């Protein structure tokens, strides 16, 4: 782990630090598995080293089996937190890998598979996380659904409904259920996206939800500051996750994914993990109502 970590943090050209397009076409059925991607994403399995920033903390991370959520869960554990992992049953193979990595750090991993588009499950998810972890002081709403469509006429009512329920309703239900358990000093971090500010034409419903996440986070931050709870969001640009080849992008876009940003490549999930660690930690004690961008140079405005 140390060697890979040291290599990652060596001063180097960020344009060539990780794989650059072109990539192979690699269609998957949604929700997709990280293990089937080529090249495999770096979630920090061997390259993230913790420093005790979250010692004793208890975190719930949605979409924790792969992509950004997986990188966050690994980083949180290596910073000293116990982590409850939310994911759908089909993603169990990836989630079990994450649990083993968490447990290898001497931390507790709680596997909580289920469908967050169901309100009752969201409430059960929080209840089980609190019971199994012995409390809750970090919530990361990260799970997302993204399905590209060339025209609004191609977006079915079923797709629109599921995208909004996965990305917005679930965030609302889980946050509402979690807040009564969260003490002063707790942190909520929501995963938005650069598409909230510059929506591509093929992601009408997804971009709508990501703009909603930005507004939700800013409004909730103003509300919860009276309780000493901080709320922030992260707005990633193109990141190499299973969301992209499993319907998030057309396969022709997967081949050149990340080439449109100034850095010329997609981000790797481990490159976002330190942002979530910072926002979850006491080091960010003066940070609330903010949206942190990591866009490869495109910006969020």
Residues designated as active site: 206
CB 170 within 8 A of CB 116: yes
Partners of residue 109 on adjacent β-strands? 83
């Amino acid at each position: 782990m140390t060697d890979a970590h040291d290599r990652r943090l060596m001063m180097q050209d960020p344009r060539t630090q990780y794989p650059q397009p072109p990539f192979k076409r690699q269609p998957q059925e949604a929700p997709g598995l990280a293990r089937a991607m080529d090249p495999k994403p770096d979630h920090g399995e061997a390259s993230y080293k913790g420093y005790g920033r979250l010692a004793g903390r208890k975190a719930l991370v949605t979409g924790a089996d792969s992509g950004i959520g997986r990188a966050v869960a690994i980083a949180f554990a290596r910073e000293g937190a116990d982590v409850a992992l939310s994911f759908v049953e089909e993603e169990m193979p990836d989630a079990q890998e994450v649990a083993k990595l968490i447990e290898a750090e001497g931390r507790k991993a709680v596997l909580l598979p289920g469908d967050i588009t169901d309100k009752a499950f969201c409430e059960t998810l929080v209840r089980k996380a609190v019971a199994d972890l012995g409390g809750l002081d970090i919530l990361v709403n990260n799970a997302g659904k993204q399905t590209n469509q060339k025209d609004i006429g191609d977006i079915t009512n079923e797709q629109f409904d599921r995208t909004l329920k996965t990305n917005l309703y679930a965030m609302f239900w889980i946050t509402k259920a979690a807040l009564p358990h969260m003490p002063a000093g707790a942190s909520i971090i929501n995963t938005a996206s650069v598409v909230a500010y510059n929506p591509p034409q093929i992601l009408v419903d997804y971009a709508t939800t990501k703009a909603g996440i930005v507004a939700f986070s800013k409004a909730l931050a103003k509300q919860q500051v009276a309780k000493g709870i901080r709320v922030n969001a992260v707005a990633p640009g193109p990141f190499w996750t299973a969301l992209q080849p499993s319907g998030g992008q057309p396969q022709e876009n997967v081949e050149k994914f990340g080439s449109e940003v100034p850095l010329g490549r997609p981000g790797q999930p481990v490159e976002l993990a330190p942002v979530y660690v910072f926002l979850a930690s006491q080091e960010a004690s003066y940070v609330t109502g903010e949206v942190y961008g990591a866009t490869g140079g495109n910006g969020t405005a």
